[in-house]
Structures are given as C-alpha cells and as structure tokens.
Chain A
Amino acid sequence: MAHEEVAERSRVKQIVLSCWCIASFAWYVHRFSPALTPVIHRLLPRIWH
C-alpha cells in the first residue's frame, strides 16, 4: 500500500473516531440532562451568592 493511502486511511479513521467521541459525549450529557438540570438550577443561585 502506498504511503499516502495509509496516511489517508489513518486520517479517515481518526475523523470517524473523533466524531464518535464528540457525539457519544453529547448523547451522554443529553441522556442525563433531566437529572442534572434541576440540580444545576438549584445550585447555581447558591454558588452565585
């Protein structure tokens, strides 16, 4: 396999993996947001004061 082809494959793999990392992180936060939001709402004024 040519050097460029290997580099290209690695780049594609990295892009796919990076997309997974970001998407799964966002999905996780979204999944737990119903539990997190009320706590954050309750805590924010306390931190502020």
Chain B
Amino acid sequence: MALGRAAITLFEVLGFCLAFASLGNLLLRYLRFEFESDAEHFLSAVAVGLVTTEVLLFMVQLTQRIRLGCWLISGLLCVLLLRNWSRVWEKARGALREMAPQSRSSRFLLILIAIVASVEFLSALAPLTGSDALQYHFTIQKQILEYGFHPIFSNSHSFACGQHHLLILLGLGLGSEKLSLGFIFLGGVLTAASLACLASRWASPVIVTGFALIFLLSPLAFWQLTSSGSPDIYMAFLASTAVIVLVQEKGGASWRQALLVGLLAGGVAGAKYTGCFLAAALALAAVIELRSVVSASFLLAGSLASGIWPYLRNLAWTGNPIFPFLAARLSPGLVTSAALANMYTDTGTATRHSLIQVLPFVFFAGVRPSGAGLWEFYGPTVLVLAPLTILAIKNERRWRVLILVWLASSLGISSTSGLARFLLPVYPIALACSAAGFEQTSHKGWKIVRGIAGSLLVFALLAGAVGLVLYCKPALRVAVGLEDEEKYLKERAPDYQIAQTINALLGRQESQRALVFLRHSYYLEFPYVNGDPLTSFELEPENMQTPQSWTTFLEKQNIGYVVRSPDYPPAIARPLAEMERLGYLTPIAQEEAQTFLGKRVEQVRTNIPVVILKVKR
C-alpha cells in the first residue's frame, strides 16, 4: 500500500518534470537557442518551465482562488505535455543516451546512484518532520490555502517564503503533501544531473558519475532532499543550469543567452535573500562574457520577470522588499525587537565575519562560531581537492564563469550570513570544478595523488553512505509501511503531540481563534495566532504588560482560547498569569503531551501539560 502510493507519487513527479520541460521547450524554441548536448537542453528546458510555472502560481495567489488555480495550471501543463510529447521525449531520450554507461565502473556507479536515489526518494516521502518546514516552509503554504494570500505577521519567517515555496503550495493545493515532498526530491535529482552535465565538460564518465554520487551522499544534500522539507535545493538546480546556459558557445553570445541566464538567475534570487548574491555573481559573469549593453538589459529584464515577485509582495505588504531585514529603516512599526533579533540569530546575520572566518566557507568547511553542526556538513571533497582545482584552472569561458560564480557568491553569502547551509546552491558548481581538479591527476600521470585523493574520496563516500542509511532508516520504515505514520510523527516531529492535543481538545472548526506559543504549528488544525515573542511580530512584550492591553489584543485578534504548554514565554508570563488569577482566563481542559527538550538532534524528551484556557468576554 505504502509502496504503491510512493510509486504513484514518483509517476506524478516525473509527469510534472516532463511538463515543466515541455513548457520550457516552448520558450527555448521561440528563442531559437541551441545547446551543445541533449542533456543540457533538457535540464535547461525543465528549469525555464519551472520558473515560468512558479510565476503563474504567484499570479494565482493574487486571485485568492488558489486551489482552483493549482488545478488549472496542472491542466495547462498536461495539455502542453501531450502536445509537445514527441519533442520532449526526444530530448529526454537523448539525455538518457548521453548518460548511458561506457564502462563497467561507470555502470557500477550508476547502479549505486539509482540505489541511493531510491532510498532518498522513499525517505523524502515520510511524513513531514523537518523543524523549519513545520515552522514555515509548509505551514505558511497551508495557511495561504486555508485563509487566503495575506501577510502573516504571527509567523516572523513567513516573509522569507520565496518562489520555490510555490511548488509546496502546488502540491498542497492539489491535495497531496507527498507531491510537495516529491518536488523537493526532484530538485535534488535535477541538481545532481546538472552537476554531472557541468563536470562532463572536463571529466571522464566515471569521474562524472562518481561526483554525482558524492553530491547525493553529502550529508547536507541528503538532509535537504529527504527530511528537511525545504525547497532551497531548487536554488542549486537553477544556479547550475544558469551556468550551463552561460557556458554555451555553440551559437555565439547573444541577447537570447542573456535572457535565459536572467530568467534562471531571477529564479535563484526569488527563492531567498541570499540568492541575490548568486544572481549578482551570475549577472557579473554574464556581463564579462557577453560584453554587450543589450545583453545586460535582457539579462536584467529576464531576472526581474522571474524573480521579483516575492520582493514586490513584501513591498506591497510592508513597504520593505526585504522585510524584516532593514526593518528599522524601512518598516519600523511592523516588527518586534525580540522576533527580529531571533531572526537575525537564526539566519546568522547577527554576527560580523572576518575574511579569515569566511575563507573556510568558500571550501565548504565553515562552521558557526558557536560550534559545528551536522546541518553544515558537506563532506571534505572540495577542500581536499582545492589545490588540484586551482592547478586545473584555464583561461576559458567555462572556467571563468564557474570560478567567478563560486567565489563571488560564496564570499557574499558567508560574509553576510555565516551559515554554511546557505552555500548549498553553489555546492554543485564547486563540485564540478573539483571533478576537473581530480581528472587532471590522470592527464598529468600523478598516480600517487590520484591514489591518495581517490582513497579519501571513497572513504568520504562510504561515511556518507553509512550516514544516509542511519539517518533515513526510520523514514524508510514508514515509507515502505513497516511503521505507523502516527507513531513516527509522535517520535520525530517537534511539537506534534502538543498540536494533536490542542486539536483533540478544541476540535477542528471554530469561529474564534486560539493563541498558541508554538514554533512548529503545521499539524495544528484549529485557527490560531502565534504569540511567541521570539517568532511572531504580532505582539511587542514591552507593550503587553497589563491585563488591559491583553484584553484589547485578544478582542482585536478574535482570540477565544489561550494555550499554555507548559509555561508562557518569560517576556509575557507575568501579565498572563495575572489574568489567570483575576479570572480573565479560565482553564477548561488539560492533557499531557510529550515533546523534545532542547533541539531534536539531542533526542531528549519530556512530558509537559497542555492547558486550554477560555478567554472571558
């Protein structure tokens, strides 16, 4: 049963992938842009079709008929796929032919890739447990579907949702959380394929396949593909395909090439604020290589057309395109100090970073000053092969573009955020360069270096494989039906039991809302307002120190219930406790729930009381 559902999701995801390709193909045909290989053509068509679909989904949000819009867009994609099937299939078949193994070792590595991808796909379909996904990646899309396209100030991260979150919206809009999760996995596979395309410009098929496997077995990559529930992996796919388009030399430099690079760079910038560094690096590389004002104008137009929408949304809602950043200057009345400070800490923008601190990030070996975390673990490949990569650099367009994009964007991202995981979009580009570095050991006959570096990479691969098995084992058990989904969620999803307890105690439909102090609210079915001062812009603790201010706030927000689980946040605990004492809040139900003490990775659980209090009117 579970495997059958997984097979259906795989079929749906593949269908959407081909449909994106058919939409992208239309545009590529219109632009008459030719690629040097079928694989590059197919991947670029998927990327262009994807960003176009995301723009359409954004427009659908404005109509507020979002579920209907999701079905209409899916229908349109189906029609396009049926009409252009022969051309799309021709390119897809050509791409598969190019990937066909030439030797026994290539075949062995391809089989390994197929096994790893299958494990990752099944794990990706396990019920959602990623902390950030439960806080905003999925939660905000679910709220948009239920309550419409409006600013959600009670979730400080809601304004950080970008273009690729619309794929999650599409899946949920079509009624399938599995499809949304499948889209994230698809992003990972497409990224690995783009990396292989880039690396194949320098390296032999065995090395190319090996580096695609290294990518899929890098802990940060498999976490992003499987349980994270984050669509950031699409930034890596679009950045790699933008580079693929830019290094094409078949038709000569043209405005068409610039427009395509612009569309894809816009797709990266529209995903996340740090994507702007990548888009700027891509634009810089394009300007240097294409050297034409017309091309630069088309690049700018393309990037605005595909990536400006989340910025315009934030501008319309708050007067600040990069809200809540620069809020002190651009939208001071809309943020609260505690939530803003917490967001700065969360995104690493709270601390300044010197060049010495930033340098390891360029080689994917950077960690936060507070200490290394597993979510920053890329593996040592880029660092170990760094000198070989430097020795392999030549003054050719492909090298100039890749190195410029890698260095400029990783320096920009790490100096402003200092979070290694934000470098994920650059990782495939760096790995493609590293593949070239490793390849030259055979050209130059450096057998010793090849032997040592190769052994270290195999060791890293084995460690990654062990990590993947251990990490994905529980998710795999659920995905194949060996474990109950409910039991899995109770054990793994942060705040799941609290949310379920609230659902059970309050029921599902209610005209009034509940005030909760919960970071992970995806599984909450009751209408709610998040009142945690660290993750909500709705209330400033300084102004909420009297029962009167609370009464006004609860009235204004149409809040009928307050949920205490187990205590109120310290900054607002005193006035709320006083309201309980004065009888403004009356306990009406209580139940025990289990939750994590501290971070989930530490796996320390504790039982807490969940108390529902009725607001006295």
Which residues of the other chain, B, contact A18 by a CB distance below 8 angstroms? Answer: 448-449, 452-453
Chain A, interface SS category: helix
Contact of A25 among B373, B384, B387, B444 (CB under 8 A): B384
Complex alpha-carbon distance, A34 and B368, angstroms: 12
**Structural contact, A28 and B449, CB atoms closer than 8 A:** no
Q: Mark B344-375, 1 if CB is under 8 A from A, else 0.
A: 00000000000000001000010100011110
Q: How large is the interface on A (under 10, 10 to 19, 20 to 34, 35 or more residues)?
A: 20 to 34
| Given A24-B380, A32-B367, A42-B603: A17 in contact with B387 (beta carbons within 8 A) | yes
Which residues of the other chain, A, contact B453 by a CB distance below 8 angstroms? Answer: 17-18, 21
- Chain B: which residue is nearest A43 at the CB level? B470
| Given A14-B446, A28-B383: A35 in contact with B371 (beta carbons within 8 A) | yes
Interface centre among B365, B373, B377, B448 (most CB of A within 10 A): B448
| Given A21-B384, A21-B456: A14 in contact with B367 (beta carbons within 8 A) | no
**Structural contact, B374 and A29, CB atoms closer than 8 A:** no
Min CB distance, B434 to chain A, in Å? Answer: 12
Min CB distance, A26 to chain B, in Å? Answer: 9
Quick check: is A39 within 8 A (CB to CB) of the other chain? yes
Complex alpha-carbon distance, A9 and B446, angstroms: 12
**Structural contact, B456 and A15, CB atoms closer than 8 A:** no
Which residues of the other chain, A, contact B387 by a CB distance below 8 angstroms? Answer: 17, 20
Min CB distance, A43 to chain B, in Å? Answer: 6
Min CB distance, B414 to chain A, in Å? Answer: 15
Contact of B449 among A21, A27, A29 (CB under 8 A): A21
Complex alpha-carbon distance, A17 and B451, angstroms: 12
Give the total of B residues in contact with A, Cβ under 8 Å: 28
Which residues of the other chain, A, contact B385 by a CB distance below 8 angstroms? Answer: 21
Which residues of the other chain, B, contact A22 by a CB distance below 8 angstroms? Answer: 452, 456
Quick check: is B386 within 8 A (CB to CB) of the other chain? yes
Complex alpha-carbon distance, A17 and B601, angstroms: 37
Contact of A17 among B371, B373, B449 (CB under 8 A): B449
- Chain B: which residue is nearest A28 at the CB level? B380
Complex alpha-carbon distance, A42 and B470, angstroms: 11
Q: Mark B443-477, 1 if CB is under 8 A from A, else 0.
A: 01110110011001000100000000010000000
Min CB distance, B608 to chain A, in Å? Answer: 23
**Structural contact, B456 and A25, CB atoms closer than 8 A:** yes
Chain B, interface SS category: helix
Min CB distance, A18 to chain B, in Å? Answer: 5
Which residues of the other chain, A, contact B470 by a CB distance below 8 angstroms? Answer: 43, 47
- Chain A: which residue is nearest B377 at the CB level? A32
Quick check: is B388 within 8 A (CB to CB) of the other chain? yes
Q: Mark B372-407, 1 if CB is under 8 A from A, else 0.
A: 111011001001111110000000000000000000
Min CB distance, A48 to chain B, in Å? Answer: 13
Min CB distance, B111 to chain A, in Å? Answer: 25
**Structural contact, B374 and A17, CB atoms closer than 8 A:** no
Contact of A39 among B360, B374, B452 (CB under 8 A): B374
Complex alpha-carbon distance, A34 and B601, angstroms: 14
**Structural contact, A24 and B384, CB atoms closer than 8 A:** yes
Complex alpha-carbon distance, A25 and B458, angstroms: 12
Quick check: is A31 within 8 A (CB to CB) of the other chain? yes
Complex alpha-carbon distance, A14 and B446, angstroms: 6
**Structural contact, A35 and B449, CB atoms closer than 8 A:** no
**Structural contact, A21 and B603, CB atoms closer than 8 A:** no
**Structural contact, A14 and B373, CB atoms closer than 8 A:** no
26 residue pairs of the A-B complex, CB under 8 angstroms, read A10-B446, A14-B446, A17-B387, A17-B446, A17-B453, A18-B452, A18-B453, A20-B387, A21-B453, A21-B456, A22-B452, A22-B456, A24-B383, A25-B380, A25-B384, A27-B365, A28-B380, A28-B384, A31-B360, A31-B367, A31-B372, A34-B371, A35-B374, A35-B377, A36-B374, A42-B603
Q: Which residues of B contact A (CB under 8 A)?
A: 360, 365, 367, 371-374, 376-377, 380, 383-388, 444-446, 448-449, 452-453, 456, 460, 470, 601, 603
Additional A-B contact list (14), CB under 8 Å, known A17-B388, A20-B386, A24-B380:
A17-B446, A17-B453, A20-B384, A21-B452, A24-B386, A25-B380, A28-B380, A28-B384, A29-B380, A34-B371, A34-B372, A35-B374, A39-B374, A42-B603
